[in-house]
Amino acid sequence: MKRLIIVFITWMLVGVTVTAAWAAGPAKPVIVAEMPDCYMPIGSDGITLFTNASASDGGVLRYQWYVTDIENMAMIRAIDYAEGDSYRVPEELGVKWYCYAAWNAAGGAVSEPAYSRLIRVEFYENSPAHTHSFGQWMVTTEPTCTESGIKARECDCGFTERAEAPAMGHNWDAGTITREPTAESDGERTYTCLVCRATRTEPVKYSASPEKSDGTHNSAGTDKDKSTGDKNDKNTIQKDVEPLSPEKNAGTSFPWWGIAAAAAAVMGVGILVVVLRRKKGGKG
C-alpha cells in the first residue's frame, strides 16, 4: 500500500513539473558569442555574417536579420528573406550596422526573441589616395526632449555619413508648490518642462519654522544670541581691566623720602655757601 502511495505521489510531481514547463513556454535563446565588426574593400570576397545562439531546452531556433543606417537599435528594420543562420552583406560603399534576432520554437510555441549586438560593416574603395573630407553635421531629424534625432554630413566624393543626434533632455522650471505640506503629510512641488510641457513632482517636507525665499530658516534668534554674547564679552573685558589701588600706585611712584633727602641736600649746600662768604668777608 505504501509503495502505491509513493508511486502515485511521484507521478503527480512529474505531472506538475511537465505542466509548469509547458505553461512557461520555450526557453529564450542565449547569444553565445558576438560577431566582430567587419571592414572590406569593394570588389573583394564580400562579408558574410553568422549567428551564434543556443536554446537550453533543445528547441528549434529561428532567425531574422536587421539593418540600420545609424548605430541605434531603435532604428533597425527587418531585411526581407533574411531568415537563415547567416547573411551575406550586399557590397555598398559606406557604413551600415546589422544584427539578428533569435527565437526558440518548441511544442507549437515560440519564445521571446534574443537580439545580438549591432555589427558595424564598412565597404570602402580599394584606393588609399582618397580620404573623406566631411562638412559640418546637419540635423535631418530634430531630436526631442526624450527621443534622439538623426544628423548627417557629406564628403566631397558624395559619401554621406549619418549618426544619432542625442535627445536634448528636459529643461525644468523652478517648480511650483501644488500641495502644501502639513504636520501629518508631505506636500508636493511640480516642475514643468519649458520645451515639451512634461511634468514631474517632488515631495516637500513639512517644517515648523517658516522658510525665507532662499530656502533658509529665520535666524533672528541666532542674531540676538550673538548680540547678547557681544555684550557679555564687553562686560567681561571691563571686569578684567580693574583700576590700580592706592597701595599699588604708591609702589610705582617716586618715594617721599627721596624727595625729602634731595631737599635737605639743596638747603645744606646753600647754608655752606653763606658761611664761607661771611668768613671771607671777616678776614678782609
For residue 193, how far is the Cα from the chain centroid?
A: 20
Q: Which residues contact 162 (CB under 8 A, 6 or more apart)?
A: 69, 70, 140, 150, 151, 152
Percent residues over pLDDT 70 in the chain: 64
Domain ranges for the chain: 21-129
Three-state SS at 124:
strand
Output 280 or 223, whichever has higher pLDDT. Answer: 280
Q: Which of 94, 91, 27 is nearest to 57 (CA)?
A: 27
User: Which residues, including other chains, have CB under 8 Å from residue 71's CB and lie 6 or more apart?
Assistant: 97, 118, 120, 163, 164
pLDDT confidence of residue 131:
83
The secondary structure of residue 129, as a DSSP letter, is T
273-276 long-range CB contacts below 8 Å, 24 or more apart? none
pLDDT at 36 exceeding the cut of 70: yes
Q: Give the pLDDT confidence score for residue 220 in this predicted structure.
A: 42
**Quick one: DSSP state of residue 241?**
S
Q: What is the pLDDT of residue 264?
A: 65
Residue pLDDT, tens place only, 225-234: 444 444 444 4
Q: What is the pLDDT of residue 255?
A: 60
Query: The pTM is what?
Result: 0.46
**pLDDT band at residue 274, thresholds of 50, 70 and 90?**
low
Q: Is residue 240's pLDDT more than 60? A: no
Q: 176-209, pLDDT tens digit by residue?
A: 999 999 989 999 999 999 999 999 999 999 887 6
Residues in the chain: 284
CATH of region 21-129, choose from 3.20.20.140, 2.60.40.10, 1.10.760.10, 3.40.50.300: 2.60.40.10
Measured between alpha carbons, how far is 204 from 166 in angstroms, rounded to an integer?
32
Count other C-beta atoms under 10 Å from residue 104's C-beta: 26
The β-bridge relationship of strands 47-50 and 38-41 is: unpaired
Determine the pLDDT at residue 59: 85
The 10s digit of each residue's pLDDT in 41-60 is 988 888 999 999 998 888 89
Residues 111, 64 contacting (CB under 8 angstroms) = no
Cα 152 to the center of its chain, rounded Å: 30
- In this structure, of 96-105, 128-137, 153-162, the range with the lowest mean pLDDT score is 128-137
pLDDT tens track for 88-123: 999 999 999 999 999 999 888 999 999 999 999 999
The better pLDDT of the pair 125, 19 is held by: 125
More confident residue, 257 or 278: 278
